[in-house]
Amino acid sequence: MSQHALDGAPLLEVKDLAVAFHTPRGTFRAIRNASLTVHRGELVGLVGESGCGKSTLAFAVMGYLPDTADVGGSLRFEGNEISKMSDAELCELRGNRIAMVYQDPATSLTPTMRVGAQIQEVLREHLRMDAERARERTVELFESVRLADPAAVGMRFPHELSGGQQQRVVIAMALACDPDLLIMDEPTTGLDVTTEATILDLVADLKTRVNAGILYVSHNLGVIARVADRVSVMYAGQTIEEADVRDLFKNPRHPYTAGLLSCVPKPLGASGAVTKLSAIPGSVYPAGEGDVEACLFADRCPSVQDACREQAPPMALTDVGSSSRCLFWAGVRPGMWGADEEREEALPTNGAEPVLTAKSIRRFYGSWKRKYLFFGPRVQPPVRAVTDVDFTVGRGRTLGIVGESGSGKTTVARAVVGLVPLTGGENQLHGEALARNVDDRTRGQQAAMRMVFQNPTASLNPKMPVRHAILRSLKKFTSLNSRERRERAVELMEAVGLSADYLSRRPGELSGGQQQRVALAGAFAGSADVIVADEAVSALDVSVQAQVLNLLKAHQREEGVSYIFISHDLAVVRYVSDDILVLYAGHVAECGPADSVLAAPSHPYTEALLSAAPVPDPDAEPTRIRLEGAVPTLREAFKGCFFAGRCPRKIGSVCDEKPPPARTGPGSAEHVIYCHIPVDELAEMQQPGADPVDATSASSR
Amino acid sequence: MLRFLIARLSTIGVTLLVVSGAIFVVTEILPGDVAQMMLKKEATEERLAALRAELNLDRPAHVRYLSWIGGVVRGDFGDSYVQKRPISEIVPRRIAHSLVLALFALVLGVPVAVAAGVWAGVRPDTLWDRVVSTVGLVGISLPEFVTGVMLMLVLASTLHWLPPSSHILAGTTPWTRPEILVMPALTLMGVLFAYIMRMTRANVMEVMQTPYVRTAVLKGLPMRRVILRHVLPNAMLPTITIIATNFGWMLGGLIIVENVFSYPGLGQLLLRSIQTRDVPLLEALSLLIAATYAFSNLVADLAYTALNPRIRYA
């Protein structure tokens, strides 16, 4: 960030903003007191947990709030008050001077219109271009966001593009009229980590290329560290800290910021043992509560003092030049949420007795399609979701499964518990073959394997108190009588950190994190041997995610349960897993002990995944390997290597022609790698001096 | 696309075959003997037997069904018992009349209903929305013979703006006196308006909440463009199915409206064929109406496909 950027008048100045929504169920204070500035040429990050008012702030800047909103304070763009503008003035501003990029590109583009036309209408509306000129400009814009084949992309419909391509289109649309202010609301949330990395590269590049101010909203500290110059942290509708990005990560001056930082699993590749995660207890101060003269974070703060409950702290300037809404900012340390204690290892890492074994499991979806309904030649084979996957889960150990969306993670999980029957191969529990369908398994086998899903709201019956879900599991899978079951339910709730009175509440009265803990209590109920957690913490905020992860670990130590833990977040998988299975297009890329797989990546796909994962450290070296495109949908068996189409390290025709051999990893004999490149040669390629990798040349379908 | 068409057409074929069987069974069960009905008081045992032989009524049911369906496939629906003429001579003119009326009501009614629905859906809970929604509810609730008779009382008997009866004189077409179409069409529109308006309103309200409409608004486009280009094409998708289903209903289910206004369409013919036990005519008309339903649904699916780029039949 250049110094002169800070000097002139700010482009956007939000001062003491308050937004309340009046609804029949009461008044919700989405924003209580938020102040921030964005100057031309800088990227300001806005972070905080869900429900802190980040998105409301972003939409307030666009002048896009429902009629029920009551706006106080000021919100100025180039000195003009946005909340006082007429509809015509707003139309003039939106898409032209201020443009926005949205969280979910798939739903943010009109499905019935070609994407080119959706950009051309902006150009024609604001810049009065004729049709011909608008078409040319659209192609230029597509080029500038590095879309392959820019001339053809404009003729496609949104559903014909991948998530990454859709987001590039949305960014191109935002850049169409050279806006002065760009607002990006979680632009990479929901995208694959590999796609996220390429979009973040683009954002970093935009920062230097366009002379606009950018407000970047995200809950992901790794993303913020990668792109932001300055950061504002929001909590319960207040901006509570504002700092230069390095100061924020190195010298946080608000307990909440320090807490958020210690909830994130430590960066990958950090040497030494994994440290235990801290968690922020409780949940965000509810928006439905009235304003109080106190610090809103007091109830969750580890170093709360009496003064914190007696006055609302003002924004104070700190020793490092940042501002903090904490009376005792001088006492904030990175370690205040608990010292970096070493995570206790579960059980001996070697020679654990295998609990669950998958032998060459296959799952194909659909059946052969014929040319005419029931007749004619067979034209379309079924989709090969999972092809010949092998793995073993040891007693008391956790197998992490990683891979992009479409790589077959969820299908493996569902096939293991029997929700989708296998097409081939076999699952074994304690050496005994499991029936393919969950209904054909014995009661004991059903009790031995439980599943926890990504979305707890959808997996609990909204009409029933949560007691119902837990008691039912106990009734089905244990021989306790009804009084014992009730006692056990209370124990289970306490085990997941919820008091007994939560049993009589309905899921709707619980927060997402509490619901997921109830779901875990249900999974723990039958004393399962294996619990399959499919993206079980992905929808949770970092503070809650840490609680749930620690809970899983604690339960494993006490009960010796095994987990299959599926996540797209490598840092999280690394934190919980003893073994890691890397899946690509339904094939095993590599599988082995976590340290061996992640410490020095010995498969190009793992290397690309690691390279793409954002690191919550602004000084982290930007990584170089990028994967374009998405996991292909497979209908034919691969002739050569399954990853050859996108591999940045492809060594030649052998990759296309021969299936990769199984190699043994450098650190452990249990580490299997399917790649044509010998492990030591790949390590050589990864040396800093080696030829730079150009992944964009790889196929992007 | 070809694959899809083949699949759909063969499904329609099977459907119509099943329907033809059902119709035949129903006419068999229908009380009253056709020969008895036709001869009335002149019925003697010999004459009845002779007539039954002439009409092939003495042959077993499955033989009669097969010979009937064989004729249908060749385009020969047999002769009407009552009019003593080939059915293929009687029906086409009636189809034309009903089509004219149905299309007239559609062309007049759909744009009005869609416009009202969009208007109400864009500004839910305003006075205009409440008025339109109430009118829609009334339209759905009132049976056609009530609205039809009310229209007749007001427009024909009191104001004398329109002729009370919509019969068509021999040798003329509905277009000779287009004013006779107005009242039946208005009656049909009453029901049509309610369905289509409410459907459009609900869809528009839903689409207005989508992120892509938010995107369109935040692009700085004027509201009119947002609605025409971004809301309407998406909100119309489910509405099209409703319109098509209604078209099937309008052709086949005009019995009440056509009889209230004495309009000589399919519905009137159908009613008379039931009253006179004119079984071949009844069978032919029922099959025809079933086919109309099937094909208007096919047309709806094709229109849906054309408007919705996410669906492409390979």
pLDDT digits (tens, 9 = 90+) for A393-439: 999 999 999 998 888 899 999 999 999 999 999 999 998 999 999 89
* Domain boundaries A3-97+177-337, corresponding CATH code: 3.40.50.300
Amino acid at A574: R
CB contact under 8 A, A96 and B309: no
Decide if B214 touches A, using CB distance below 8 A.
yes
Inside any domain, residue B182 = yes
Q: How confident is the model at residue A685 (pLDDT cuts 50, 70, 90)?
A: confident
Is residue B186 located within the same domain as residue B249? yes
Is residue B152 located within the same domain as residue B64? no
Is residue B49 located within the same domain as residue B191? no
Closest chain B CA to residue A373: B7
User: Which of B43, B73, B103 is the last residue before a domain boundary?
Assistant: B73
**A55: nearest Cα among A170, A153, A189, A211:** A189
Is residue B181 located within the same domain as residue B249? yes
Decide if A102 touches B, using CB distance below 8 A.
yes
Inside any domain, residue B80 = no
What is the rounded CA–CA span in Å between residue B52 and residue B166?
38
Is residue B305 predicted with pLDDT exceeding 50?
yes
pLDDT: is A605 or B243 the higher one? A605
Chain B hits for A94, CB-CB cut-off 8 Å, are 217-220
Give the residue range(s) of CATH 3.40.50.300 domains in chain A: 3-97+177-337, 354-396+417-569
Decide if B236 touches A, using CB distance below 8 A.
no
Is residue B51 located within the same domain as residue B175? no
* Domain boundaries A354-396+417-569, corresponding CATH code: 3.40.50.300
Report the pLDDT value the prediction gives residue A701, as an integer from 0 to 100. Answer: 32
Distance of CA A536 to the CA centre of its chain: 12
CB contact under 8 A, A94 and B216: no
Decide if A108 touches B, using CB distance below 8 A.
yes
* Interface residue of B212, B230, B239, B240 to substitute, partner A, most A CBs within 10 Å: B212
Q: What is the CATH number of the domain that holds B214?
A: 1.10.3720.10
Is residue B229 located within the same domain as residue B137? yes
Is residue B186 located within the same domain as residue B292? yes
B130 CA: distance to closest CA in chain A (Å): 19
Q: Which residues contact A253 (CB under 8 A, 6 or more apart)?
A: A241, A243, A247, A318, A319, A320, A322, A324, A326, A329, A332
Is residue B212 located within the same domain as residue B278? yes
What is the rounded CA–CA span in Å between residue A230 and residue A38?
9
Percentage of chain A modeled with pLDDT above 90: 44
CB contact under 8 A, A121 and B219: yes
Domain that holds residue B44: 15-73
Q: How confident is the model at residue B307 (pLDDT cuts 50, 70, 90)?
A: confident
Is residue B162 located within the same domain as residue B227? yes
The values of phi and psi at residue A699, to 5°, are: -60, 140
Mean pLDDT of all residues in A267-281: 62
Residues A179-198 have pLDDT tens digits of 999 999 999 887 888 888 88
A69 CA: distance to closest CA in chain B (Å): 16
What is the rounded CA–CA span in Å between residue B240 and residue B250?
15
Inside any domain, residue B87 = no
Least trusted range by pLDDT, from A657-671, B23-37, B148-162, B265-279: B23-37
- Output the six-digit token pair for A193: 């980590």
What is the rounded CA–CA span in Å between residue B62 and residue A209?
82
Is residue B99 located within the same domain as residue B206? yes
Is residue B26 located within the same domain as residue B116? no
Q: How large is the ipTM?
A: 0.81
Amino acid at A418: G
Q: How many domains does chain B have?
A: 2
Residues A197-236 have pLDDT tens digits of 888 988 988 888 888 899 999 988 989 999 999 999 999 9
**B25: nearest Cα among B283, B246, B296, B270:** B283
Is residue B44 located within the same domain as residue B148? no
